[in-house]
């Protein structure tokens, strides 16, 4: 019963967040410079055609009218059509969302697999060579720009070694071709994330290892391994889980650079082009779903937290 | 008796001797001809007349240019559609032409091959008439009434022939018979009419609805294979603007448009060389050979088009052999491609122009001498060589070099920093304490507006210019603007110079960037006006006579040059690269995608 209340509360809080985000973006979009009609039409289009197109698309109505019209349709599931492709916004997004989710999942897995063990071991072996080197690499990982990393990966792994295809998605995750084509884009995303995770895992672990109950556990005669796994790790990983959750949300938003360089057919490219061309309905649709996604992910993180941390009672 | 026979023999012998010389004297089709281009000539028509086949114009170009190497009195034909009256050219003999054309004349083989192409942008919609459509992809699935070849020559497409009335207010097209859309329905005059009327219908959301409505009085179809466009006022540019390739004038299947309605943009049906198979958004487009294509089915059997937004990634895909052809190279990639023996660089000049425009709404640049001084202080050659290299050609004046109305006689200000300083001093500008010029207590400070990567090397050029102007005491700030907001900034004004330009496929003298930016149009954000110029612009598209149009264009360029309205940098080249195994590819400077004759050599 308590858990259901908890979930319901979180969802209800999410609704004003959604409305707020969409509203903010709507007004910012319409008030920033850049005219989608002018960007859609040929460079020498006549003034009349521009005016006519604006009317045709309903862009010359007063903003509040456009705003409420948007919600009126959105509630019924009609998110309009992309100005540029004339395809339904929903279709544009659903055609690409699965691929971004796929990429984000693999990136999060990769980054955890790399980052968490490195961070934890660094903490356990604090100030050893392992610790120092991994901290240095983590620092690099956080600092190196992803477009540089992406291009370097392509040059090394695709051009020189030929292990992976330079770009594109060659199939679903459960095929070898698919795995090979997702590896580099996911790795590019994972590097920055893993570095952050490693540092967080390390500091969190160190923090936990300093606690009294760890000393008590050792005093009780527990072997080192059990001390770490049964007592320290569970507690140290709590902030790490939250971090992973927010990372996933961030990656969902469109790992634009990775997707552009690797021609990954995800949301990132869609979002950037939509903004470039001021494709209002498409941008709003993307923001709408992104907001929902972030709310849901945060809910999942909260729930996981509640499950893992016995101190939290629902 | 024998005398009679003897006379007969002599007569016959004489006759036999004379006939060859008569034959030699006959100018047509036996030997080479030296021909002087007349007004309104086209290489196609000349080939038709002398060699019996319009397509043999290619042989004329090759034979003539070969001759020109040893005899410079012959004109060099760089672009077959750009021939000038008075030029002396060589028309080869029919045999020679046949030899030269042997490869082209041979029936096209049909291979079972897939060509993989990497393009920069995914196709947004296949409904070519719509405002968001990307017209270069149209040449794959659709045909137009008039086609271009790789060199920009107009030749019959879905229209076998056409006539333009004397006063350029009526166009009659005679359509090709027996052509079918990919869905099996017939192509005919009704289809053409439906296509254009759909563009004129406001509900369609087409790109040029109002323009077409303003231009077309009515479209008549006197019979199944004749279409007549009656225009409201004469307009020589109508064909190039609406009908030719790479416009919105593709002919789409009316039956399919009805069947798919709003979703036609995802299910294109045309008459073109390639049939639409599938489009996985953001991933790949698959097209297959149209076996019944009226102009000869393509050699390859399948085209796979992959959108890859990043130029570096495109090149890697080409280098690894995953794709066979890429477009839109960055200038810095050209060296890499040329140095790689497995790759071929394709480059053709285009009718585009990019440069710095002065904003004469601002006080600073109202004085023509000040503008001239700024122009003199910029080393255009150096900048173009360093930043553009093979990605473009140095422009000469405000009209692209390939435009038929280009005036090669005008002399731009050039590069002379001393003269620049002299002019500025004369205008009352003196160096201040920090080296920046001053006048009446005001410094020579100004803004150069540049979009961020919308044009090749746009902000890089502006930065280089800023640097050069600094050395003569002019302090410029480069304001880089997100491309989406660039035009808003231009309309808002407040800038002193701006880097912009454009690409105009129609090379007619009455068309081009200068009409747009310096005429009485909404795009003239540069505060420029000149009565004589505007009079010329007003008449240009209505002047039927080519020579008069060209003269008018020449005069316009003189005026613009005297007034130093801008500093012109380059005409972009259309770049592509392919594996050297790709044969038969005809690269064009018009910008459309054409792979009919391309195939892979195994």
**Subunit contact A34:B484, Cβ cutoff 8 A:** yes
Q: Which of B215-224, B356-365, B447-456, B584-593 has the lowest mean pLDDT?
A: B584-593
Closest CB from A35, A45, A57 relative to B488 = A35
* Burial class, B166, CB count within 10 angstroms (exposed 0-12 / middle 13-18 / buried 19+): exposed
φ/ψ (deg, to 5) at B97: -60, -45
Give the list of residues 6+ apart from residue B131 with CB closer than 8 angstroms, or none.
Answer: A37, A40, A41, A53, B205, B206, B207
Closest CB from B266, B489, B522 relative to A47 = B522
pLDDT at A264 over 90: yes
Per-window interface: A 159-188 vs B, CB < 8 A: 159, 162, 165-169
Q: What is the 3-state secondary structure (H, E, C) of B497-512?
A: EEEEEEECCCCCCCCC
What is the rounded CA–CA span in Å between residue B297 and residue B598? 11
DSSP H or E stretch at residue A236: helix A234-252
pLDDT band at residue B15 using 50, 70 and 90 as cut-offs:
low
How much is the pLDDT for A131?
Answer: 86
What is the rounded CA–CA span in Å between residue B356 and residue B373? 14
Beta strands in B390-524 (DSSP E): 392-394, 430-431, 437-439, 442-443, 445-451, 475-481, 497-503
What is the rounded CA–CA span in Å between residue A208 and residue A271? 41
Crossing angle between the packed helical segments A129-143 and A176-209, to the nearest 10 degrees: 120
pLDDT at B104 over 90: no
pLDDT band at residue B24 using 50, 70 and 90 as cut-offs:
very low
What is the mean pLDDT of the segment spanning A290-295?
Answer: 84
Q: Which of A74-78, A293-297, B225-229, B359-363 has the lowest mean pLDDT?
A: A293-297
Measured in whole angstroms, the distance separating CA B492 from the mean position of its chain's CA atoms is 31
What is the mean pLDDT of the segment spanning B407-418?
Answer: 90
DSSP H or E stretch at residue B98: helix B94-105
B394 strand-pairing partners: B570
Per-window interface: A 6-45 vs B, CB < 8 A: 32-35, 37-45
**Token digits for A240?**
């790490």
- Output B302 or B243, whichever has higher pLDDT: B302
Give the list of residues 6+ apart from residue A269 with CB closer than 8 angstroms, or none.
Answer: A96, A254, A256, A259, A260, B282, B309
**Subunit contact A43:B502, Cβ cutoff 8 A:** yes
**Subunit contact B484:A269, Cβ cutoff 8 A:** no
- Output B160 or B478, whichever has higher pLDDT: B478
What is the rounded CA–CA span in Å between residue A205 and residue A122? 9
Neighboring chain A residues of B483 at a CB cutoff of 8 Å: 276
Model confidence over A5-24: pLDDT tens digits? 777 887 888 889 889 999 99
A11-17 contact pairs (CB < 8 A, 24+)? A11/A295, A11/A299, A14/A292, A14/A295, A14/A296, A14/A299, A17/A291, A17/A295
| Interface mutation target, options B122, B132, B249, chain A, most CBs of A under 10 Å | B132
B171 strand-pairing partners: B164, B229
What is the mean pLDDT of the segment spanning B559-574?
Answer: 92
pLDDT band at residue B27 using 50, 70 and 90 as cut-offs:
very low
Neighboring chain A residues of B131 at a CB cutoff of 8 Å: 37, 40-41, 53
Q: Which of A57-71, A245-259, B413-427 has the lowest mean pLDDT?
A: A245-259
**Token digits for B451?**
């979009």
pLDDT at B106 over 70: no
Model confidence over A92-149: pLDDT tens digits? 999 998 998 899 999 999 999 998 888 888 888 888 888 888 888 888 888 888 889 8
Which range of B56-65, B132-141, B149-158, B185-194 scores highest in mean pLDDT? It is: B185-194
Mean pLDDT of chain B: 87
DSSP 3-state assignment of B368?
Answer: helix
How much is the pLDDT for A20?
Answer: 92
**Token digits for B296?**
């000869």
Contact B289, B110 (CB under 8 A): yes
pLDDT at B489 over 80: yes
pLDDT band at residue A72 using 50, 70 and 90 as cut-offs:
very high
Cβ atoms within 10 A of the Cβ of A19, count?
12
What is the rounded CA–CA span in Å between residue B391 and residue B401? 15
- Closest C-alpha among A289, A297, A288 to residue A105: A297
* Burial class, B590, CB count within 10 angstroms (exposed 0-12 / middle 13-18 / buried 19+): buried
Neighboring chain A residues of B266 at a CB cutoff of 8 Å: 87
Shortest alpha-carbon distance between residue B484 and chain A (Å): 5
Mean pLDDT of chain A: 86
**Subunit contact B316:A158, Cβ cutoff 8 A:** yes
- Closest C-alpha among B422, B419, B391, B396 to residue B407: B396
Give the list of residues 6+ apart from residue B165 with CB closer than 8 angstroms, or none.
Answer: B171, B172
Torsion of CA B595, B599, B600, B602, to 10 degrees: 180
pLDDT at B29 over 50: no
Q: What percent of chain A has pLDDT over 70?
A: 97
Neighbour-count burial for B499-533, b at 16+ CB within 10 Å, e otherwise:
bbbbbbbbbbbbbbbbbbbbbeeebbbbebebeeb
DSSP 3-state assignment of B393?
Answer: strand
What is the rounded CA–CA span in Å between residue B61 and residue B81? 11
Contact B155, B42 (CB under 8 A): no
Residue B491, CA distances (Å) to A208, A254, B85, B487 in order? 61, 32, 41, 6
Which range of A125-129, B421-425, B431-435 scores highest in mean pLDDT? It is: B421-425
| Longest alpha-carbon distance in chain A | 85
**Subunit contact B205:A38, Cβ cutoff 8 A:** no
Cβ atoms within 10 A of the Cβ of B8, count?
10
**Subunit contact B313:A262, Cβ cutoff 8 A:** yes
How much is the pLDDT for A15?
Answer: 87
**Subunit contact B211:A45, Cβ cutoff 8 A:** yes
């Amino acid at each position: 019963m308590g858990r259901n209340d908890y979930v319901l509360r979180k969802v209800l809080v999410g609704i004003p967040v959604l409305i707020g985000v969409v509203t903010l973006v709507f007004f910012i979009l319409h008030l920033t410079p850049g005219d989608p009609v002018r960007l859609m039409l040929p460079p020498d289009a006549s003034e009349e055609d521009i005016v006519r197109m604006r009317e045709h698309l309903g862009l010359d109505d007063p903003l509040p009218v456009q705003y409420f019209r948007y919600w009126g349709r959105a509630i019924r599931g009609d998110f309009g059509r992309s100005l540029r492709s004339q395809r339904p916004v929903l279709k544009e997004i659903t055609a690409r969302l699965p691929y971004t989710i796929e990429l984000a999942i693999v990136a999060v897995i990769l980054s955890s697999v790399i980052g968490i063990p490195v961070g934890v071991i660094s903490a356990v072996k604090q100030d050893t060579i392992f610790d120092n080197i991994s901290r240095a690499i983590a620092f690099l990982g956080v600092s190196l720009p992803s477009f540089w990393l992406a291009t370097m990966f392509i040059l090394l792994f695709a051009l020189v070694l030929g292990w992976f295809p330079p770009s594109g998605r060659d199939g679903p995750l459960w095929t070898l071709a698919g795995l090979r084509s997702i590896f580099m884009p996911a790795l590019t995303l994972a590097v920055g994330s893993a570095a952050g995770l490693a540092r967080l895992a390390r500091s969190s672990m160190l923090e936990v290892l300093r606690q009294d109950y760890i000393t008590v556990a050792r005093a009780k005669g527990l072997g080192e391994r059990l001390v770490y796994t049964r007592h320290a790790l569970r507690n140290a990983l709590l902030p790490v889980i939250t971090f992973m959750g927010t990372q996933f949300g961030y990656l969902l938003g469109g790992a634009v650079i990775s997707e552009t360089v690797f021609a990954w057919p995800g949301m990132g490219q869609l979002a950037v082009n939509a903004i470039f061309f001021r494709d209002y309905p498409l941008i709003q649709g993307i923001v709408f779903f992104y907001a929902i996604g972030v709310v849901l992910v945060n809910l999942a993180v909260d729930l996981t937290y509640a499950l893992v941390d016995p101190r939290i009672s629902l | 008796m024998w005398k009679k026979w003897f006379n007969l023999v002599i007569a016959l012998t004489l006759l036999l001797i004379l006939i060859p010389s008569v034959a030699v004297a006959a100018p047509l089709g036996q030997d080479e001809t030296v021909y002087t281009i007349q007004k309104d000539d086209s290489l196609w028509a000349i080939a038709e007349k002398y060699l019996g086949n319009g397509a043999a114009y290619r042989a004329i170009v090759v034979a003539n240019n070969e001759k020109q190497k040893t005899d410079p009195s012959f004109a060099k034909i760089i672009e077959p559609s750009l021939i000038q009256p008075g030029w002396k050219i060589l028309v080869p003999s029919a045999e020679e032409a046949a030899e030269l054309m042997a490869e082209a004349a041979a029936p096209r083989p049909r291979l079972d091959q897939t060509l993989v192409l990497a393009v920069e942008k995914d196709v947004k919609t296949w409904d070519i008439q719509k405002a968001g459509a990307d017209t270069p992809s149209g040449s794959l699935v659709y045909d137009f009434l008039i086609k271009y070849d790789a060199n920009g020559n107009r030749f019959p497409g879905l229209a076998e022939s056409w006539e333009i009335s004397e006063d350029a207010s009526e166009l009659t097209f005679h359509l090709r018979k027996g052509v079918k859309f990919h869905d099996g329905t017939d192509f005919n005059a009704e289809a053409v009419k439906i296509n254009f009327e759909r563009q004129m219908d406001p509900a369609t959301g087409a790109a040029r609805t109002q323009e077409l409505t303003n231009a077309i009085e009515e479209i008549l179809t006197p019979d199944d294979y004749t279409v007549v466009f009656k225009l409201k006022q004469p307009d020589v540019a109508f064909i190039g603007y609406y009908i030719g390739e790479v416009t919105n004038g593709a002919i789409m299947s009316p039956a399919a448009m009805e069947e798919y309605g709003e979703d036609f943009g995802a299910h294109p049906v045309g008459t073109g060389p390639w049939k639409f198979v599938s489009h996985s958004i953001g991933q790949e487009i698959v097209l297959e050979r149209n076996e019944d294509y009226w102009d000869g089915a393509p050699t390859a059997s399948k085209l796979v088009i992959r959108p890859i937004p990043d130029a570096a990634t495109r090149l890697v895909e080409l280098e690894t052999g995953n794709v066979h052809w890429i477009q839109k190279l960055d200038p810095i990639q050209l060296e890499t491609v040329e140095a790689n023996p497995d790759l071929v660089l394709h480059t053709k000049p285009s009718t585009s122009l990019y440069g710095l425009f002065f904003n004469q709404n601002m006080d600073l640049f109202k004085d023509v001498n000040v503008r001239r001084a700024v122009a003199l202080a910029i080393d255009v050659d150096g900048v173009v060589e360093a930043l553009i290299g093979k990605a473009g050609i140095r422009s000469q004046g405000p009209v692209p070099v390939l435009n038929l109305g280009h005036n090669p006689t005008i002399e731009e200000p050039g590069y002379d920093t001393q003269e620049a300083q002299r002019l500025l001093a004369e205008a009352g500008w003196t160096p201040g304490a920090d080296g920046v010029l001053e006048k009446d207590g005001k410094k020579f400070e100004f803004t150069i507006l540049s979009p961020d990567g919308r044009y090749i090397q746009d902000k890089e050029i502006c930065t280089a210019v800023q640097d050069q102007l600094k050395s003569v005491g002019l302090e410029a700030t480069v304001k880089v603007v997100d491309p989406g907001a660039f035009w808003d900034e231009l309309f808002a004004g407040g800038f002193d110079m701006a880097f912009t330009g454009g690409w105009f496929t129609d090379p007619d003298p009455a068309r081009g960037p200068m009409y747009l930016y310096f005429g009485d149009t909404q795009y003239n954000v540069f505060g420029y006006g000149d009565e004589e110029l505007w009079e010329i612009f007003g008449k240009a598209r209505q002047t039927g006579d080519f020579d008069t149009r060209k003269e008018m264009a020449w005069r316009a360029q003189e005026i613009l040059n005297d007034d130093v309205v801008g500093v012109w940098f380059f005409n972009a080249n259309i770049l592509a690269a392919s594996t050297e195994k790709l044969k038969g590819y005809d690269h064009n400077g018009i910008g459309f995608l054409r792979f009919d004759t391309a195939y892979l050599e195994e």
